Amino acid sequence: MAEFKQSPPVLKNQYDDDRVLRSYLSRVLPPDVLTDIHESLSEMGRLAGGELYELQLADRLNEPTLTQWDAWGTRIDKIEVTPLWQRAERIAAEHGVVATAYEQKHGSLSRVHQCALAYLFTPSTDIYSCPLAMTDGAARTLLNSGNQELIDRAVPHLITRDPKEFWTAGQWMTELTGGSDVGLSETVAKQDATGYRLYGRKWFTSAIASQMALTLARPEGNPPGGRGLALFYLETRDEHGRPRNIQINRLKDKLGTRKVPTAELTLDGTPAQLVKGPTDGVRNIAPLLNITRLWNGISAVALMRRGLALSFDYASKRVAFGAPLCEKPLHVDTLATLQAEFEGAFQLAFYVAQLTGKTETREISDDDALLLRVLTPIMKLTTAKQAVLVTSEVLESFGGAGYVEDTGLPVLLRDSQVLPIWEGTTNVLALDTLRALQSDGDAQRGLQRFQRVVINCVDGVNDSALVNVVRSALDHAASWLADAQGDAREAGARRFSLTLGRTIELALLIKHESLQAARRLASLGVDVIF
Ligand code: MFK
């Protein structure tokens, strides 16, 4: 009897094969810049579709381990990450997945180049984007702080391409009292003759294998709330590799991101240095939040793209009811919907990367700086929701195979599910959007700036049906903002923010002449205010 064999989905070079990434880059980059970075992207695309992907599948069942005691009773709290992550760290350093943004070889566009590298690298490395995001955010925060001693000490390690010198950074914010409401943090900073020492419990610390961390603590005597916290720098281990008065109590047992060693910590006199004054910790850590939120968006589009790359390939191989799935109108229609969500998310995430690059090279106008402040939470919350939707549907597009672990598919959904949660939940970021719109005192004025950018994207476009979808969603958002007050404004913040996110995605798709995706996104609906 002939035995039926199903061909599995395969990945090609993930850069060469990505129409959306390549056409975006050829639109936003001058030709000489594109030529200059082509090789680095093609090499990362080759690794992501080849060596790293194979290693990822082989590493599937491995998880990080915590060894708390050595054989002779000494507390060591040693973390070991899996072979995939060990390889990922080396590749990330050598290929400049963080460094590229700081070398600024192409000015503000280096941030776009770096995000393209991160986008290619992320889906084959099981959320190694987490430590890289925090490393990038720590470098930016230290540079912005002006604290020259800490800049000289840490930043060269964070942005090096030499794997032997490379450090990653943690971002220790969450405590039992405050995941979203960080101002409730209870960690105390006490000063003695040697400087500050931190005492407290950090409840959800990601990628705990890092060499340094930025964290928040309340100097003794400071008032409650976010203003009474201060931002601290600490190094996690001494020159002998021993934890600096830090106990790792246990690793978290999570739905996804299982390669990320996420821990509960006790700080018991951990030496730490102030980064920027003894107060306003929440404000001072904001640059880190904004960079990790950008990475969240890039990771969201990266996971969507990976799912779709596999699903499209499989559709050409899997035969059902007499034809390959790619010839079945309903299957094609379903994938077209997912592709439109992905393409809209892609445009928005990379637009925020462009603006982030401009702010880093100080080429940003006041209007664009406000726009970036408003768009960062909008982009994060919108793309994260799209990632969960798209990866869930991707699994379904494989039928039962999508639900089976050794295909390597379920991890896409599990890892996407963290994206709307960490770095600010959808609701927290929706409220942040309202606050950001008001940051120069008048939310309507903030919204008008947003509207101008969106309208500019569709100016002169003669597809009036599409343009009307954009205009009417913007008008509805403006009238909602004018009318909704108090509890009604808070209750509607998520729908309002998602509407702004989906509307600018549509406008960017139109601007980039991705009209098929634009029409599909418009028909799916961008205005979710009711
Ligand atoms: C895969 C890629 C991603 C990988 C990341 C992996 C690691 C993830 C690990 C984590 O999840 S770490 C924990 C992440 N936690 C959060 O993101 C906290 C979510 N909560 C919020 O964001 C709240 O909105 C916030 C804590 C900021 C509210 O706290 P407060 O004390 O009520 O602050 P407030 O009063 O809103 O803001 C204080 C100041 O900071 C204000 O400035 P002023 O002092 O000048 O008035 C704000 O304008 C400013 N600020 C707040 N957020 C800002 C900001 N400025 C710029 N950008 C922002 N995003």
Q: Copy the structure tokens of residue 507.
A: 């406008």
pLDDT digits (tens, 9 = 90+) for 25-76: 999 999 999 999 999 999 999 999 999 999 999 999 999 999 999 999 999 9
What's 215's DSSP letter? Answer: E
Distance CA 160, CA 41 (A): 19
Instruction: Tell which atom from ligand 1 comes closest to the C-alpha of 225.
Output: 31
Distance CA 180, CA 173 (A): 9
Determine the distance separating the centroid of ligand 1 and the alpha carbon of 330, expressed in angstroms. 43
Determine the distance separating the centroid of ligand 1 and the alpha carbon of 210, expressed in angstroms. 21
pLDDT confidence of residue 489 = 95
Confidence band of 449 (pLDDT split at 50, 70, 90): confident
Determine the distance separating the centroid of ligand 1 and the alpha carbon of 208, expressed in angstroms. 21
217: left (phi over 0), alpha (psi -120 to 50) or beta: beta
> Is the pLDDT score of 208 beyond 90?
no
Mutate to test the pocket of ligand 1, among 122, 182, 414 (most ligand atoms within 8 A of CB): 182
The answer, yes or no, to whether any atom of ligand 1 lies below 6 A from the CB of 184, is: no
Mean pLDDT of 393-398: 98
pLDDT confidence of residue 443 = 81
Determine the distance separating the centroid of ligand 1 and the alpha carbon of 134, expressed in angstroms. 14
pLDDT confidence of residue 51 = 96
For 415-425, b/e burial (b = at least 16 CB within 10 A) is: bbbbbbebbbb
**Structure pTM?**
0.97
Instruction: Please state the φ and ψ torsions of residue 213, each to the nearest 5 degrees.
Output: -150, 150
The answer, yes or no, to whether any atom of ligand 1 lies below 6 A from the CB of 262, is: no
Confidence band of 207 (pLDDT split at 50, 70, 90): confident
Q: Whose CA is nearest to atom 27 of ligand 1?
A: 282
pLDDT digits (tens, 9 = 90+) for 105-121: 999 999 999 999 999 99
The answer, yes or no, to whether any atom of ligand 1 lies below 6 A from the CB of 183, is: yes
Confidence band of 495 (pLDDT split at 50, 70, 90): very high
> Is the pLDDT score of 441 beyond 80?
no
The answer, yes or no, to whether any atom of ligand 1 lies below 6 A from the CB of 356, is: no
> Is the pLDDT score of 464 beyond 80?
yes
Mutate to test the pocket of ligand 1, among 432, 433, 440 (most ligand atoms within 8 A of CB): 432
Determine the distance separating the centroid of ligand 1 and the alpha carbon of 352, expressed in angstroms. 17
The answer, yes or no, to whether any atom of ligand 1 lies below 6 A from the CB of 135, is: no
Residues in the chain: 530
The answer, yes or no, to whether any atom of ligand 1 lies below 6 A from the CB of 133, is: yes
Mutate to test the pocket of ligand 1, among 205, 423, 426, 437 (most ligand atoms within 8 A of CB): 423
Q: Copy the structure tokens of residue 168.
A: 């990653």
C-alpha dist (Å) from residue 128 to 40, 85, 88, 416:
19, 7, 7, 13
The answer, yes or no, to whether any atom of ligand 1 lies below 6 A from the CB of 387, is: no
Determine the distance separating the centroid of ligand 1 and the alpha carbon of 174, expressed in angstroms. 11
Helix residue ranges, H only, 214-328: 281-315
Beta bridge mates, 171: 214
Mutate to test the pocket of ligand 1, among 119, 132, 289 (most ligand atoms within 8 A of CB): 289
Instruction: Tell which atom from ligand 1 comes closest to the C-alpha of 432.
Output: 24
Mean pLDDT of 458-481: 94
Distance CA 333, CA 450 (A): 32
Instruction: Tell which atom from ligand 1 comes closest to the C-alpha of 133.
Output: 4
Mean pLDDT of 264-277: 97
Cβ partners under 8 Å of residue 226, min gap 6: 182, 183, 280, 281, 282, 283
pLDDT confidence of residue 339 = 98
The answer, yes or no, to whether any atom of ligand 1 lies below 6 A from the CB of 123, is: no
Instruction: Tell which atom from ligand 1 comes closest to the C-alpha of 422.
Output: 11
Strands 169-172 and 212-219: parallel
Determine the distance separating the centroid of ligand 1 and the alpha carbon of 64, expressed in angstroms. 29
pLDDT confidence of residue 96 = 98
Instruction: Tell which atom from ligand 1 comes closest to the C-alpha of 174.
Output: 13
The answer, yes or no, to whether any atom of ligand 1 lies below 6 A from the CB of 216, is: no
Q: Copy the structure tokens of residue 105.
A: 């070889």
Strands 212-219 and 188-192: parallel
Cβ partners under 8 Å of residue 310, min gap 6: 9, 11, 394, 409
pLDDT digits (tens, 9 = 90+) for 86-142: 999 999 999 999 999 999 999 999 999 999 999 999 999 999 999 999 999 999 999
Confidence band of 474 (pLDDT split at 50, 70, 90): very high
> Is the pLDDT score of 381 beyond 80?
yes
pLDDT confidence of residue 366 = 87
The answer, yes or no, to whether any atom of ligand 1 lies below 6 A from the CB of 65, is: no
Distance CA 129, CA 335 (A): 26
Determine the distance separating the centroid of ligand 1 and the alpha carbon of 283, expressed in angstroms. 7
Strands 65-69 and 323-324: unpaired
Nearest to 63 by CA among 239, 254, 219: 254
The answer, yes or no, to whether any atom of ligand 1 lies below 6 A from the CB of 292, is: yes
pLDDT confidence of residue 49 = 97
Distance CA 381, CA 313 (A): 29
> Is the pLDDT score of 316 beyond 80?
yes
Distance CA 172, CA 134 (A): 10
Helix axes 329-360, 109-121, angle to 10 degrees: 140
Nearest to 390 by CA among 503, 507, 524, 515: 524
Distance CA 292, CA 137 (A): 6
Mutate to test the pocket of ligand 1, among 205, 283, 437 (most ligand atoms within 8 A of CB): 283
Mean pLDDT of 456-476: 94
The answer, yes or no, to whether any atom of ligand 1 lies below 6 A from the CB of 284, is: no
The answer, yes or no, to whether any atom of ligand 1 lies below 6 A from the CB of 422, is: yes
pLDDT confidence of residue 230 = 98
The answer, yes or no, to whether any atom of ligand 1 lies below 6 A from the CB of 56, is: no
User: Lowest-confidence range among 10-24, 173-187, 489-503?
Assistant: 173-187
